Amino acid sequence: MLQDLCVANPAAGIKVNGFACKPDTNITAEDFFFAGLAKPGIVNSSVGSLVTGANVEKIPGLNTLGVSLGRIDYKPGGLNPPHTHPRATEIVFVLEGELDVGFITTANKLFSKSIKQGEIFVFPRGLVHFQKNNGDKPASVLSAFNSQLPGTQSLAMTLFAATPEVPDDVLTKAFQVGTKEVDKIKSRLAPKKS
């Protein structure tokens, strides 16, 4: 961060680490504003959750500022499946409902807890974590990240639904099961990509 403001300029015609900046004279308060997290999203994924980002791609004023938000909505039984953020720690605040949440360290130890409306939980940078709505009502959280573009790597999709495919022999050996089980998971997850 080398000046007060470097509002992202996707029209700059040049790609740099982060984004090039708009001319100062074009900056307005709108560049620092976003209304897209105000309402629950419509959850129609197979896992029963929906993530809506409020990062530099939505709020150009966040460029170089190192922070962003997101909102996650969960149906009853909905899961935000195990994933990592390669570039950020996440801290969630429950807007509504109750969730079972957890993260796993590199020493393979799970830290988990149930959290309800108004409560907070931290998922340290880079570690695998998840949230599940085991209640019978919808739930939602607000997430904060110390990156303007934290990235998300959802592990089941990463392993079983990448393009091109991760080879079967990598997956059978990693999970110590046969091609049948691997292909079953692939078939279940693959259509979710389109």
In which residue are the tokens 């259509």 written?
191
Task: Tell me which of 10, 30, 76, 179 binds its own copies, using CB under 8 A.
Answer: 30
Minimum CB separation of residue 64 from its own copies in Å reads 5
β-sheet bridge partners, residue 177: none
Minimum separation from the CB atom of position 176 to its own copies (A) = 4
Residue 2 touches its own copies, criterion: CB under 8 A: yes
CB of 23 to its own copies, least distance (A): 7
Choosing from 72, 99, 115, 139, the residue that interacts with its own copies (CB under 8 A) is: 115
* CA contacts within 13 A on the Cβ side of 69: 13
Those residues with Cβ within 8 angstroms of residue 134's Cβ, 6 or more apart along the chain or in another chain: 77, 98, 99, 100, 114
CA distance 168 to 165: 8
Q: Which amino acid is present at 175? A: F
Single residue of 11, 29, 136, 194 touching its own copies by CB under 8 A:
29
Please select the residue that binds its own copies; options are 11, 42, 107, 194, rule is CB under 8 A: 107
Return the C-alpha torsion angle 89, 163, 188, 47, nearest 10.
30
Among residues 10, 76, 165, 168, the one that binds its own copies under rule CB under 8 A = 165
**What is the four-CA torsion angle of 134, 139, 145, 148, rounded to 10 degrees?**
130
CB of 155 to its own copies, least distance (A): 5
Looking at the Cβ atoms of 5 and 43, the one nearer to its own copies is 5
Residues 40-69 that bind its own copies (CB under 8 A): 46-48, 54, 59, 61-69
11 touching its own copies, by CB under 8 A: no
Exposure of 80 in the CB half-sphere (CA atoms within 13 A): 26
The correct pick among 76, 122, 168, 179 for binding its own copies (CB under 8 A) is 122
Does residue 27 bind its own copies (CB under 8 A)?
A: yes
